[in-house]
Structure 1
Amino acid sequence: MTTPTRRALITGGGTGIGAATARLLADRGWLVAVTGRRPGPLRQVADEIGGVAIPADLSAAESAQAAVDAAAEHLGGLDTLIANAGGHGFATAEETSPEDWEASMGANVGTAFHTARAALCHLRRSRGSIVMVSSLAGLRAGPGVVGYTTGKHAVIGLTRALARDHGKEGIRVNAICPGWTRTPMADEEMDQLCDAVAELPDRESAYAHVTRHVPLGRPAEADEVAQAIAFLAGPESACLTGATLVTDGGAHIVDVPTLAFDALT
């Protein structure tokens, strides 16, 4: 008995975790469409994997609907939506203008909501799955990231609401929360840290610095997070829905007030 070819749409699929997931799924025989705001990176990934690039502003409902429908048409249906698009919101509340707030909510939770809503009719037919890419910032709070933190927390709430409402239709919805992961966005943050801290001369020293209290002692690679996303997307996790899988090298288990005792161990 042959296994049917599975079909996935990945938002934010042009770079970082989204691109790594597109490559991994394509290597496993999936048909893959990638969507997001930047046509260049999307087309590069699509050409590499033999997939489909669909440029779109997913924070707008009509654009998200059109992108999802186009992906389903190109792929012959849809088995999985991987809602990976996000970003924006790197400031304190006082530093965040109303326009910045709206942009952050649109980028982080709006893209996830609009694409999930548009995908439900397709996933109902295939009894498919949704993987929401949240963040460790969806469980914890860092300094000066009020919009991003709020949006990523909301993504986990959206995951649970969708799982509750649509499980009876055979649709599974789970979230993944990466910690520090080597991506272009994280590279930029490491470079900013190097500029601010004289003791950190280069990007590698910055990554080492921000993961020094992480049990695994290193950032994740985008390919490693992609492996976890593929697990949540596919039949191997057939009885898993409404779950939050944390891929942060163990950062979330660290009891911060005990860090002073590290020197004794």
Structure 2
Amino acid sequence: MTWATGKHALITGAGTGIGAGAARALAAAGARVSLLGRRPEPLQAVAAQTGGRAIPCDVTDPEAQARAFAEARDAFGPLDIVILNAGIGDSRPFLRTGRETWNAIIATNLTALFDGAQLALPDLQAAGKRLIIVASVAGLRGGAMAAPYVASKHGAVGLTRSLALEFARTGLTVNAICPSFVDTPMVDDSAERIAGATGKSVEEARALLARTNGNGRLITVGEVTHAIMQLCHSDASGTNGACVTIDGGTSA
């Protein structure tokens, strides 16, 4: 028996990248996993690998997210671990950023966290329960050419710290994961935008992003998953309100 046996973990943005990595790791540790995401095909693939339940859901639709949480509970019972990971990014000059871009990023990266936390918290107010918000190092410092994204991630960090304080005496821990550029489809999208704007190749753009990390390379999904698993572990009850940076030393 492993430490997560019998626990129910719900992960948003679980079809690819960090969410999929966390789902695989938690399932390997014995957890039953509910997988939320917009695209059914990647979710089904992760469900097949983990024995989890794929629940297609656009987290920017509060009613859809509420239905998804209800379906997860019907399948596996009350929640023990919730990882709010769904997110989108964009990069462009502020004065060329339209309100529709701002609205979309805030809706996915911040408002959906509010909705998800409110849906999760009735189950999580007990010793050993875990709420993890996947934020970003962009939530801890400024960043040019990405104002909506940076603002949304600052909000994610603020929400994490506020919930950690408000619910500390229930036994719940609330922590944020703050990675820099991770080798995921989101970074692939960023590299393509940079390539389109600069004339560089996609590989050159990826290398440019990698050099912004302290270790000069992209962070791996496995490295982020390792940090998530440490915070989820039953021995991590003393870590609450933390913002765990995974950036290869940039923040040192």
* 1:204-219 matched pairs, under 5 angstroms: 205-212=204-211, 214-219=213-218
The alignment partner of 1:180 has SS state of coil
% identical aligned pairs = 38
Shift of 1:215: 3.1
5+ residue gaps, structure 1, are: 254-265
**What TM-score do you get using the length of structure 1 for normalisation?**
0.87
Question: Counterparts in 2 of 1:79-94, with a 5 A limit?
Answer: 79-94=80-95
* Cα separation, 2, equivalents of 1:227 and 1:234: 11
Deviation, 1:171, is: 1.1
Aligned to 1:62: 63
The worse-fitting range, judged by mean Cα deviation, of 99-108 and 174-183 is 99-108
Larger Rg: 1
Cα offsets for 1:4-58 (capped at 9, x unmatched) = 5221100000111111111111112111111022222112211221100111121
Task: Call closer, same or farther: CA 1:196–1:33 in 2, change over 3 Å.
Answer: same
Number of equivalences: 251
How far is 1:196 from its partner? 4.5
Checking the alignment, whether the CA contact within 8 Å between 2:83 and 2:132 is kept in structure 1 is yes
For 1:245, the aligned partner's letter is: V
RMSD over equivalenced CA pairs, Å:
2.1
Measure the CA separation in 2 of the matches of 1:126 and 1:241: 12
- Whether the 8 Å contact between 1:78 and 1:126 is mirrored in structure 2 is no
Which aligned runs of 4 or more in structure 1 are off by greater than 4 angstroms? 1-4, 195-198
Q: Are residues 228 and 196 of structure 1, via their aligned partners in 2, closer, same or farther at CA, if it must alter by over 3 Å?
A: same
Q: Which residue number corresponds to residue 71 of structure 1?
A: 72
Give me the whole-angstrom Cα distance separating, in 2, the residues matched to 1:54 and 1:30.
17
1:9 matched residue in structure 2: 10
Are positions 1:117 and 2:111 aligned together? no
Shift of 1:68: 1.7
Secondary structure of the corresponding residue to residue 34 of structure 1: strand
- Tell me the equivalent position of 2:23: 22
Do the aligned residues in 1 keep the contact of 2:47 with 2:53 (CA within 8 Å)? yes
Listed one character per residue, the Cα deviations across residues 214-252 of structure 1 (whole Å, up to 9, x for unaligned) are 332211111111111111122131111111000111122
How far apart are the structure 2 equivalents of 1:63 and 1:166?
26
Instruction: State the distance in 2 between where 1:53 and 1:212 align.
Output: 36
Aligned AA (1:228) = A
